[in-house]
Amino acid sequence: AQSVTQPDIHITVSEGASLELRCNYSYGATPYLFWYVQSPGQGLQLLLKYFSGDTLVQGIKGFEAEFKRSQSSFNLRKPSVHWSDAAEYFCAVVGSGTDKLIFGTGTRLQVFP
């Protein structure tokens, strides 16, 4: 069965520092992968997605992610974090059959000034 693991429950960084959020997936075929961001009390906003092609994907708000098949990973990165990036980040993979999304448990990002 497909699954997504986000090993880091909580990450704290200083504003201006670089960021990498880890995501590992389990899927038999080429996966469709996503990163979403959720601000407190809000819904989910799509940051970026990978379907095929170039393994380095650019998203909104200066985020990027790299698909590495050999490591079954799809880590999210940002070169310089802003205080407004503090939120919960979810990695997801599309399950087989009906397009339902399978989410990781999320990583909560805290940004210090």
Partner 1 sequence: NAGVMQNPRHLVRRRGQEARLRCSPMKGHSHVYWYRQLPEEGLKFMVYLQKENIIDESGMPKERFSAEFPKEGPSILRIQQVVRGDSAAYFCASSPPPRSSYNEQFFGPGTRLTVL
Identify the three-state secondary structure at position 5. Answer: strand
Q: Return d(Cα 64, Cα 47) in angstroms, integer.
A: 9
Strands 3-5 and 64-68, sheet pairing: unpaired
Q: Does 95 bind partner 1 (CB under 8 A)?
A: yes
Give phi and psi for 15, each to the nearest 5.
-60, 135
Is 42 a binder of partner 1 (CB under 8 A)? yes
Alpha-carbon gap, residue 53 to 106, rounded angstroms: 26
51 binds partner 1 (CB under 8 A): yes
- Choices 18-26, 54-62, 76-84, 88-96; region in contact with partner 1 by CB under 8 A: 88-96
Cβ proximity of 55 and 67 under 8 Å = yes
> Is 83 an interacting residue with respect to partner 1 (CB under 8 A)?
no
Q: Which of 35, 65, 93, 106 binds partner 1 (CB under 8 A)?
A: 106
Per CB under 8 A, 103 contacts partner 1:
yes
28 binds partner 1 (CB under 8 A): no
Decide: is 105 part of the binding site for partner 1 (CB under 8 A).
yes
